[in-house]
C-alpha cells in the first residue's frame, strides 16, 4: 500500500536534519512577515532614513569643526560615519521588532516601560549633563531613557485604556493619568520640557480616542492651560524659552540663526557642503538639521520632507480604518502621535513658529538613542498594523475584520 510522505530537502545523504527544519521555519516566518507587513510604510521609512543620512552628511562639517579643539580635531564627516553605524543598528531593531507577535509585544513593552521609568528616576542622581540638561545615563554608551520610554508608554497606555471593554466601570482614565504624572515630574527635573509636552499630547490623543466624555475634555483643556501658565510663572526653563519666542529673538539667537539658515539656499539650495550659514548654527546635526536641509538642498526638499512625514501619518490612519480591536487602534495611534508630533514640533521650531524645545527630527537628525528609539517606535507600529491579506479572500470565519464588521463592535 502506497502512502504519501512529506517532502524533505535532499542534502546529499538522503536524510533530513534539525537544521533543515530550522531553515524552513525561518524562511517561512520571513515569507509570512513580508506578506503581512505594510510594505508601503516600510518603504517610506527607508526613504526617510536615507534622507537623514544625507542630511547628517551635510551638517556634519559644521558640528565637527565647532566641537574640535586644539588637542582633538574631528573629521568633517565624523558625525556622518557615527550616524551610519547607528542607522544599521536601528534598522536591525526595526525589523526584529516588527516581527514580534502582538502578545509578546504587549508584555515586552510593559516591562520596558517599567525599566525605563526606573532609569528615568536615576537620571537626576547619576545622569550626565550636556548643555545644562541632565538627560542621559552613561554606562560606556550614552542612553537617554525618555526616548525608549515614549513608545513603551504609548503601548502600555493603550493596554490600560483597552481594559474599559472588559469592565466599563474601571477608572482607566485615572490610572493612565497616574502613570503620566511621575513621568512629567521626572522630565521637568532634567529639564526636558519638549518631551513632557510630547507625553501630554500623546496621552490626550489616546484618552480622547478611548471615549473621554466631552465634559472631561473641556476640564482637561482648562487644566492644561492652567499648567502652562503655572509653568511660565514657576518653571524657569519654560519661562526663558517662551520669552525668547515671544520676544522675536536676536541676531545671535539659535532660532533666528536657524531660520536664516533655512531660507539661505532659496528653493533649490546652495548644494551639498556649499552652505555657509550652517557653520554658525549650534546643534546643526541634531536640533536644527531641518534648517541645514533648507540651505543646502532647498526649500523644495524641505516640503518633500514634510510631505513624507504627513504620508507616514496618513498611511497608518488609513490602515486603521478597517481595524476593530481597541488595543491595536490605541497603540498605533499613540505611536503615530509620538512620531508625527516630534517631527512637527522640530519643524515648527525651525520655522520660528514654536518655542525652542531641544528636540531632534525623527530619523533625520543625528543621534544614538534617538535613532534606535525611533526605529523601535516604527517597528512597533509595523508590528501592530500587520495584516494577513488572504483572510477575507479565503473566508476565514474567525478573521477579525469579518467579526468586527458583522457585529459592529470594537474588540479589545
Give pLDDT tens digits for 268-315. 989 888 888 888 888 889 989 999 999 999 999 999 999 999 999 999
Q: What is the pLDDT of residue 397?
A: 42
Q: Residue 150 in contact with residue 195, Cβ under 8 Å?
A: yes
Q: What is the pLDDT of residue 199?
A: 94
Query: With 80 as the cut, is the pLDDT of residue 216 above it?
Result: no
Give pLDDT tens digits for 185-204. 999 888 888 888 899 999 99
Among residues 365, 347, 367, 366, the alpha carbon closest in space to that of 357 is found at 347
Summarize the confidence of residues 3-21 as an average pLDDT: 48
The CA–CA distances, whole Å, from 369 to 54, 89, 94, 117 equal 19, 11, 13, 16
Query: With 60 as the cut, is the pLDDT of residue 94 above it?
Result: yes
Q: What is the pLDDT of residue 402?
A: 39
Summarize the confidence of residues 355-381 as an average pLDDT: 90
The torsion angles phi and psi of 136, rounded to 5 degrees, stand at -120, 150
Summarize the confidence of residues 38-61 as an average pLDDT: 95
Q: Indicate the pLDDT class of residue 71, thresholds 50, 70 and 90.
A: confident
Among residues 273, 311, 316, 265, the alpha carbon closest in space to that of 291 is found at 265
Name the percent of the chain lying above pLDDT 70: 77
Query: With 90 as the cut, is the pLDDT of residue 68 above it?
Result: no
Q: Residue 138 in contact with residue 128, Cβ under 8 Å?
A: yes
Q: Residue 294 in contact with residue 269, Cβ under 8 Å?
A: yes
pTM: 0.84
Query: With 80 as the cut, is the pLDDT of residue 345 above it?
Result: yes
Q: Residue 327 in contact with residue 158, Cβ under 8 Å?
A: yes
Q: What is the pLDDT of residue 232?
A: 63
**DSSP code, position 135:** E
Q: What is the pLDDT of residue 59?
A: 94
Query: With 70 as the cut, is the pLDDT of residue 43 above it?
Result: yes
Amino acid at each position: 500500500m502506497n502512502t504519501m510522505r512529506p517532502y524533505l530537502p535532499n542534502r546529499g545523504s538522503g536524510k533530513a536534519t534539525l537544521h533543515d527544519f530550522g531553515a524552513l521555519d525561518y524562511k517561512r516566518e520571513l515569507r509570512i512577515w513580508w506578506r503581512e507587513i505594510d510594505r508601503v510604510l516600510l518603504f517610506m521609512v527607508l526613504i526617510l532614513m536615507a534622507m537623514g543620512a544625507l542630511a547628517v552628511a551635510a551638517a556634519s562639517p559644521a558640528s565637527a569643526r565647532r566641537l574640535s579643539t586644539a588637542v582633538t580635531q574631528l573629521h568633517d564627516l565624523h558625525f556622518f560615519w557615527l550616524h551610519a553605524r547607528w542607522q544599521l543598528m536601528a534598522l536591525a531593531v526595526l525589523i526584529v521588532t516588527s516581527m514580534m507577535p502582538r502578545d509578546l509585544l504587549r508584555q515586552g513593552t510593559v516591562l520596558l516601560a517599567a525599566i525605563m521609568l526606573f532609569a528615568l528616576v536615576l537620571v537626576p542622581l547619576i545622569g550626565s549633563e550636556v548643555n545644562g540638561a541632565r538627560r542621559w545615563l552613561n554606562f560606556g554608551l550614552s542612553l537617554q531613557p525618555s526616548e525608549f520610554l515614549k513608545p513603551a508608554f504609548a503601548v502600555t497606555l493603550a493596554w490600560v485604556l483597552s481594559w474599559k471593554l472588559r469592565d466599563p466601570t474601571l477608572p482607566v482614565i485615572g490610572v493612565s493619568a497616574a502613570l503620566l504624572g511621575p513621568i512629567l515630574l521626572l522630565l521637568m527635573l532634567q529639564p526636558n520640557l519638549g518631551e513632557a509636552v510630547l507625553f501630554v499630547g500623546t496621552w490626550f490623543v489616546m484618552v480622547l480616542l478611548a471615549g473621554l466624555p466631552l465634559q472631561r475634555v473641556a476640564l482637561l483643556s482648562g487644566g492644561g492651560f492652567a499648567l502652562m501658565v503655572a509653568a511660565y510663572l514657576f518653571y524657569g526653563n519654560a519661562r526663558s524659552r517662551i520669552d525668547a519666542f515671544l520676544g522675536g529673538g536676536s541676531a545671535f539667537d539659535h532660532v533666528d540663526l536657524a531660520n536664516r539658515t533655512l531660507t539661505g539656499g532659496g528653493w533649490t539650495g546652495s548644494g551639498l557642503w556649499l552652505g555657509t550659514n550652517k557653520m554658525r548654527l549650534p546643534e546643526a546635526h541634531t536640533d536644527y538639521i531641518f534648517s541645514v536641509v533648507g540651505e543646502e538642498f532647498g526649500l523644495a526638499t524641505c516640503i518633500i520632507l514634510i510631505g513624507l512625514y504627513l504620508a507616514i501619518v496618513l498611511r497608518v490612519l488609513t490602515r486603521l480604518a478597517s481595524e476593530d480591536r481597541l488595543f491595536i487602534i490605541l497603540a498605533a495611534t499613540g505611536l503615530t502621535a509620538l512620531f508625527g508630533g516630534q517631527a512637527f514640533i522640530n519643524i515648527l521650531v525651525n520655522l520660528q513658529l514654536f518655542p525652542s524645545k531641544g528636540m531632534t527630527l525623527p530619523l533625520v537628525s543625528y543621534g544614538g538613542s534617538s535613532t534606535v528609539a525611533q526605529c523601535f517606535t516604527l517597528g512597533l507600529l509595523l508590528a501592530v498594523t500587520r495584516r494577513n491579506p488572504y483572510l477575507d479572500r479565503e473566508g476565514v470565519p474567525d478573521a477579525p475584520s469579518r467579526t468586527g464588521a458583522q457585529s459592529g463592535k470594537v474588540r479589545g
